Amino acid sequence: MATSLAEENYLKIIYRLCEGTKEDISTNSIAELTNNKAASVTDMLQKLAEKGWVTYQKYQGVRLTNIGESIALSIIRKHRLWEVFLVEKLGYNWDEVHEIAEQLEHIESETLINKLDSFLDFPKIDPHGDPIPSQEGEIPELGYLHLSEVKLNETCTLMGVAKDSAVFLQLLTKLNLSLGARLEVLEINTFDRSVSLKIAEEKPIFISHEVAKNILVKI
Amino acid sequence: MATSLAEENYLKIIYRLCEGTKEDISTNSIAELTNNKAASVTDMLQKLAEKGWVTYQKYQGVRLTNIGESIALSIIRKHRLWEVFLVEKLGYNWDEVHEIAEQLEHIESETLINKLDSFLDFPKIDPHGDPIPSQEGEIPELGYLHLSEVKLNETCTLMGVAKDSAVFLQLLTKLNLSLGARLEVLEINTFDRSVSLKIAEEKPIFISHEVAKNILVKI
DNA sequence: ATTAATTTTTAGCCTAGACTAAAAATTAAT
DNA sequence: ATTAATTTTTAGTCTAGGCTAAAAATTAAT
Ligand SMILES: [Mn+2]
Ligand SMILES: [Mn+2]
Ligand SMILES: [Mn+2]
Ligand SMILES: [Mn+2]
């Protein structure tokens, strides 16, 4: 069945909210991420339920069906592959690609995305470290930790980010924090949970808890 | 001012119809190319006139303003650059790219199309031989002839096509007619104006007047 | 257990962009 | 110069996807 641009954006956001939790998700949480009002979300949830892409009981929250999830994953696959294209081939920085990919993810073509995948040499992750779903909708569970959970004196590798707002990514770039960086946790201040880090052999930097929470690492 | 997808498609089609003629163009001719009904076209023409992108007097036809033309040219630039990308980088055939470019031409980003242009090495023509407008909206007038106008025994070079429907392009491919081919007009049948051609050193082929009309050549 | 606060849904309205049917203007044919 | 045919516009309707304001359900607080 055909999907409209609005429907695709809703499914993608519902997917993100379902990730991590078993609970059905709320109308309000969707409204926040779509920048729509709750009443508009209710309307759309009824349509999506009608099409069989979500299960929805009024007042009881919503959840993707298997079909809904596979549609969401195909949009996410397109989003992330286009991001790789923008960074690897066109020379964009990782903080510049989100808005453009937000548009490109809706281009509809059976063949296009697979040719793009092949042109890019079948990347496994996007410029933010997020895994790229396969054509069959498989997505590896990478099991990264938030840097804020890493213990004192442990060393880890920066594998991804939990947020892709431009200002956040620009801050990381300024701090010399990029994918693959080796990080050692030198200090954790109990007052505000800010963290002191050593990146490779350079001199230590300070980051807030808020930043540490949004950095994904592998021990 | 922001342009919607529907408006962009209208402007592009009005541009195509204005090309070649000095006359204002008719509501019906637009309706045919957009696959909309004349009444819907009238609605849109009023909106476009309101925005200052066309001049329009009811019952008297329509014409692009300078601003309207420059918007149309920027869409055409995007369409053609994406077609080059699809053929040159992703390996599509020239008959497969039109529909996809029809979507990609509406991606909105100041920087994207210029980075793409640079990535493709600033191509001057698209896979169908059509010139690519510059960033400033300059488009060279190539002054090609239709193959149907070429005189008996003259030799010419295939420079483009006047129609990009998939079946037409597939026919050309089957006949071994591609951009750059050297063509000699061996025969013109007065009965149906069909043409016999020699391509390079190979044995002659026959094409209908309808086909010859849609092939663009340089003497 | 009520009451209060919060969340969600319904009802009604709006705009973009399509449509059909009918009216009006233009163009062509007697 | 009328009349007929064609084209174009208007009027009214529809759907998608938003909105606000009011009603209903759920959840939290006395
Ligand atoms: Mn999107
Ligand atoms: Mn990403
Ligand atoms: Mn288009
Ligand atoms: Mn083309």
> Residue A69 falls within a domain, yes or no?
no
Which nucleotide has its C1' atom closest to residue B7's CA?
A: C17
Query: Residues lining ligand 1 (ion), CB within 5 A?
Result: A 9, 102
**In this predicted model, what pLDDT tens digit does every residue of B30-39 receive, in sequence order?**
999 999 999 9
Measured between CA atoms, the residue of chain A closest to residue B113 is: A90
Residue B29 lies in a domain: yes
Q: What share of chain B is helix, strand, coil (3-state, %, to 5)?
A: 40, 15, 40
Instruction: Specify the nucleotide whose C1' lies closest to residue A61 (CA).
Output: C8
pLDDT band at A62 (very low <50, low <70, confident <90, very high): very high
Task: Give CA–CA dist A200/A59, Å, rounded.
Answer: 51
Chain centroid to CA A92: 18
Chain B CB within 8 Å of residue A5 CB? no
Final residue before a domain boundary, out of B45, B64, B83 = B64
Q: Is there contact between A50 and strand D, defined as CB under 7 Å from any strand atom? A: no
CA distance B175 to B153: 20
A212 and A149 assigned to the same domain: yes
- State whether B153 and B179 are in the same domain: yes
DSSP strand pairing (B182-188 vs B195-199): antiparallel
Q: Which nucleotides of C are covered by protein (CB under 7 A)?
A: 7-12, 16-22, 25-26
The dihedral over CA atoms of A194, A200, A202, A204, expressed in degrees to the nearest 10, equals: 10
Residue A19 belongs to a domain: yes
State the pLDDT at residue B43: 98
Residues whose CB is less than 8 angstroms from the CB of residue B51 and which lie 6 or more positions away in sequence, other chains included: B1, B7
**A181-196 mean pLDDT:** 93
Q: Please check whether residue B122 lies inside any domain of the structure.
A: yes
- Quick one: which of B33, B37, B3 has its CA closest to B15? B33
**Could you say which DSSP state residue B110 is in?**
T
Q: What six digits make up the tokens of B24?
A: 């204002």
For A98, the closest chain B residue by CA position comes to: B109
- pLDDT computed for residue B42 by the predictor: 98
Q: Specify if B113 maps to a domain.
A: yes
Q: What is the mean pLDDT of chain B?
A: 96
Query: Does A209 share its domain with A149?
Result: yes
What does the alpha-carbon distance between residue A96 and residue B154 come to, in Å, rounded to a whole number? 54
List, in order, residues 6 or more apart from A15 with CB less than 8 Å away: A64, A68, A69, A72, A73, A76
% of chain A with per-residue pLDDT over 90: 93
Considering just the CA atoms, what is the radius of gyration of chain B in Å? 19
How many beta carbons lie within 10 A of that of residue B184, not counting itself?
16
**D12 C1' – A52 CA distance, angstroms?**
34
What is the CATH number for A132?
A: 1.10.10.10
DSSP code for A149: G
Our count of domains for chain A comes to 3
Query: In this predicted model, what pLDDT tens digit does every residue of B138-150 receive, in sequence order?
Result: 999 888 999 999 9
Last residue of a domain, one of A141, A169, A194: A141
Q: What is the pLDDT averaged over residues A161-183?
A: 95
How wide is the angle at C-alpha A32 spanned by C-alphas A27 and A37, nearest 5°? Answer: 65
Q: Is residue B208 part of a domain?
A: yes
Ligand nearest to the CA of B9: 3
User: Are B42 and B27 spatial neighbours (Cβ–Cβ below 8 Å)?
Assistant: yes
What is the residue whose two structure tokens read 């929250």? A61
- Cβ pair A156, A147 in contact under 8 A: yes
> CA–CA distance from B159 to each of A131, B35, B203, B216 (Å)?
44, 29, 21, 6
Check if the beta carbon of residue B9 is closer than 8 Å to that of residue B72: no
Q: What does the pLDDT look like over A19-45, one tens digit per residue?
A: 979 999 999 999 999 999 999 999 999
Per the CB < 8 Å rule, is A92 touching B99? no
Enumerate the residues of chain B whose CB falls inside 8 A of the CB of residue A119: 89-90
Instruction: Please tell me whether residues A109 and A149 are part of one structural domain.
Output: no
Cβ of B173 near strand D (under 7 Å)? The reply is: no
The whole-chain average pLDDT of chain A stands at 96
Q: Are B62 and B96 in contact (CB under 8 A)?
A: no
Q: pLDDT band for position B105 (50/70/90)? A: very high
Looking at residue B127, what is its pLDDT? 98
Residue B44 pLDDT > 90:
yes
B81 and B131 housed in the same domain: yes
Does any domain span residue B91? yes
Model-level pTM greater than 0.85?
yes
* Protein CA B7 to sugar C1' C26 (Å): 27
Q: Which of B141, B169, B188 is the last residue of a domain?
A: B141
| Confidence band, pLDDT 50/70/90 cuts, at residue A155 | very high
Question: What is the DSSP pairing of strand B145-146 with strand B215-218?
Answer: antiparallel
For the cut 90, the answer to whether the pLDDT of residue B179 exceeds it is yes
Whether the pLDDT of residue B207 is over 90: the answer is yes
Q: For strand C, is any atom closer than 7 Å to the CB of B114?
A: no
Could you tell me which residues come within 8 angstroms of residue B80 by beta carbon, excluding any fewer than 6 positions away? Answer: B101, B125, B126, B130, B131, B132, B133
Let me know whether B51 and B11 are in one domain.
Answer: yes
CATH of the domain at A213: 2.30.30.90
Chain B residues inside the 8 Å CB shell of A99? 109
- Asked, for residue B93, whether it belongs to a domain, the answer is yes
Q: Which domain does B189 fall in, by range?
A: 145-218
Residue B157 distance to chain A (closest CA, Å): 32
DSSP string, B31-73: HHHHT--HHHHHHHHHHHHHTTSEEE-TTS-EEE-HHHHHHHH
Nearest CA among B80, B61, B10 for reference residue B40 = B10
pLDDT at position B137 over 90:
yes
Instruction: Choose the closest CB to B91 out of A92, A109, A115.
Output: A115
pLDDT at residue B142 in the model:
87
For residues A200 and A155, state if they share a domain: yes
* Whether residue A81 has pLDDT greater than 90: yes
pLDDT above 90 (res A201)? no
Search chain B and give the residue with CA nearest A103: B107
